[in-house]
Amino acid sequence: MSDGRPIGVFDSGLGGLTVVKELFRLMPNEQIIYLGDTARCPYGGRSNETIESFGIQDASFLESKDIKLLIVACNTVSSVALEKVREQVGEIPVIGVVLPGCKAAVTRTAEKKIGVIGTRATIRASSYKKAIQSIDPSIVVYGKECPLFVPLVEEGVVNHDITYSVVQYYLYELVDSGIDCLILGCTHYPLLMEAIQGTVSSRIELIDSAMWTAKEAYDILNALDARAEEDRDGFAQSHFYITDFVPNFEKSAERFIGKKINNIELVPLDQLADLVIGK
Amino acid sequence: MSDGRPIGVFDSGLGGLTVVKELFRLMPNEQIIYLGDTARCPYGGRSNETIESFGIQDASFLESKDIKLLIVACNTVSSVALEKVREQVGEIPVIGVVLPGCKAAVTRTAEKKIGVIGTRATIRASSYKKAIQSIDPSIVVYGKECPLFVPLVEEGVVNHDITYSVVQYYLYELVDSGIDCLILGCTHYPLLMEAIQGTVSSRIELIDSAMWTAKEAYDILNALDARAEEDRDGFAQSHFYITDFVPNFEKSAERFIGKKINNIELVPLDQLADLVIGK
């Protein structure tokens, strides 16, 4: 049996499109409904209460689009508000971006030492540490918040001397700790892959959360026998929504997803808020 | 005659406290009501429509506090939405942070070449250029958007090799253009004063918008005969509101205002939105 309904994906901004890129790579026939809350991004430095409130609004919007699966492509929301989002959307299966990368890292670390980098909220929530140690409590997890990485990516300063200085500034301690896996715990970070791998030792494997999250979605849809029919162009049928037409959003989106999106639509913030109040 | 009512000041976040610091330096007896929209900062990369909508909400909140003067301590709102804010608050006099720094720069430039640095929205709105050339059309204005400066200040990375690299990265062209005045067109930038002055030639005078805005407020209140009575501790009677208790907000506020604020209060976002709808 096939299920032609769309997959919902949201993020605080456009970074979650790195997850969508991986979804299309594995499942080009799936239709995606994407929401990026560009009017209020980034979420990473905000309080847990605010992150929860924004995440619930984002999820409600996608819930109203008759989705078959919800992917929280925002590490911050996945780290501090995944359960609240689950409660909000009821029956729809929900995947966050934290657990898939953790599972991959656990199977790969020989030294049993894993590093995690992310926004302030992600690292402070210790979500990766908890997820890894729930699988194998003997693994030591080193977290490091890297708040300047997102602005660097947003500015397109991803392969400059400054980028390398900032990567060095944040990561030198992690490298010294003896980790052999480093989880990129933010959807923006895959764009810094080259600078990060160039800075840390080549024996440290980088784990891209976006890729492993897409893999998890693929496994779940197959297990539920809920894949779309094969002869469909998923990208052509997908919808991309943002809450603010920020300057350069088209160029920025293209950087994350790797191709041009022609039909990005606006959802005003008050519409998001009303959906939750209306429940 | 004296007027004991408070001065309202708002910014997208805590940076506007640099203006409050200067206000207290000139008028320690004035009571301030400050609002920082920490749940949605920064505004600098958003669309004009969104900046306008957020700015009107912020202004409405302060208007409800019976203020005698409104200072828009946010360069972004001052640049793209000052007239809308004026319409919103009716009779209350409104000062933005753009014009005061421009007036100061115009009287100081011998070369008739002024540089302006700010957020993306501020520079793209050409607000400083328009304000300067409305005073003296023969002055050439060089604007440069510096989107990484705010994250650096927010991270407290203000006196590090990285800071100097980023300052150099943004300003080398401006320095070559022959300017003799450089306006710091963002409330965060006074904290980068040392790195900026250390990078540009010492013959370039830095113009701190925050300081000149406070001076303008002082002049206006005196002209209107609306200063508070002298024997009052303004700081002790002031109120500081934010829309989100972001991590480290107390430490961050202290960095901008130069002293500890003990009574920062929360205003939920839906309360802000309701004030405007209720008009």
Residues in chain A: 279
**Would the CB atoms of B165 and A169 count as touching at under 8 Å?**
no
* pLDDT bracket for residue A121 (50, 70, 90): confident
Q: What mean pLDDT comes out for the span A80-93?
A: 95
Instruction: Using CA coordinates, name the residue in chain A closest to B274.
Output: A270
Looking at residue B1, what is its pLDDT?
A: 78
How many CA atoms, within 13 angstroms, populate the side-chain half-sphere of residue A208? 19
Is A155 a residue whose pLDDT tops 90? no
Note which residues in 191-250 of chain A have CB less than 8 A from chain B: 244-247
Q: What mean pLDDT comes out for the span A142-162?
A: 92
Comparing CB atoms, the residue among B46, B120, B148 nearest residue A244 is B46
Looking at residue B274, what is its pLDDT?
A: 80
Marked catalytic residue, from B41, B74, B102, B181: B74
Looking at residue A277, what is its pLDDT?
A: 56
Instruction: Using CA coordinates, name the residue in chain A closest to B125.
Output: A247
Is A50 a residue whose pLDDT tops 90? yes
Q: Structural domains in chain B?
A: 7-96+211-277 (3.40.50.1860), 98-209 (3.40.50.1860)
Tens of pLDDT, residues B32-73: 999 999 999 999 889 999 999 999 999 999 999 999 999 999
**Would the CB atoms of A39 and B40 count as touching at under 8 Å?**
yes
**Would the CB atoms of B45 and A246 count as touching at under 8 Å?**
yes
DSSP string, A244-273: S--TTHHHHHHHHHSS----EEE--HHHHH
DSSP state of A81: S
Looking at residue B58, what is its pLDDT?
A: 98
Tens of pLDDT, residues A211-261: 999 999 999 999 999 999 999 999 999 999 999 999 889 999 999 999 999
Burial (CB count within 10 angstroms: exposed 0-12, middle 13-18, buried 19+), residue B54: buried
Looking at residue B277, what is its pLDDT?
A: 57
Looking at residue B197, what is its pLDDT?
A: 95
Closest CA to A16 of A4, A3, A30, A32: A32
Is A270 a residue whose pLDDT tops 90? no
Residue type, A173: E
Is A275 a residue whose pLDDT tops 80? no
B160 in reach of chain A (CB within 8 A): yes
Tens-of-pLDDT digits for all 279 residues of chain B? 799 999 999 999 999 999 999 999 999 999 999 999 999 999 988 999 999 999 999 999 999 999 999 999 999 999 999 999 999 999 999 999 999 999 999 999 999 999 999 988 899 999 999 999 999 999 999 999 999 999 999 888 998 999 999 999 999 999 899 999 999 999 999 999 999 999 998 889 999 999 999 999 999 999 999 999 999 999 999 999 999 999 889 999 999 999 999 889 999 998 888 877 554
DSSP state of A33: E
Chain A residues whose beta carbon lies within 8 Å of the beta carbon of residue B164: none
CB atoms within 10 A of CB B158: 17
What percentage of residues in chain A have a pLDDT greater than 70?
99
* Cα B163 to Cα B273: distance, rounded to the nearest angstrom: 37
Let me know: does A209 contact A63? Beta carbons within 8 Å: no
pTM, two decimals, is: 0.91
* pLDDT bracket for residue A274 (50, 70, 90): confident
Please give the structure tokens belonging to residue B96.
């933005």
DSSP string, chain B: ----PPEEEEESSSTTHHHHHHHHHH-TT--EEEEE-TTT---TTS-HHHHHHHHHHHHHHHHTT--SEEEE--HHHHHHSHHHHHHHHTTS-EEESHHHHHHHHHHH-SSSEEEEEE-HHHHHTTHHHHHHHHH-TT-EEEEEE-TTHHHHHHTT--SSHHHHHHHHHHHHHHHHTT-SEEEE-STTGGGGHHHHHHHS-TTSEEEEHHHHHHHHHHHHHHHTT-PPPSS--HHHH-EEEESS--TTHHHHHHHHHSS----EEE--HHHHHHHHHT-
Is A47 a residue whose pLDDT tops 80? yes
ipTM: 0.87
- ∠ CA B216-B89-B265, nearest 5°, is 80
Q: Give SS3 for A70.
A: strand
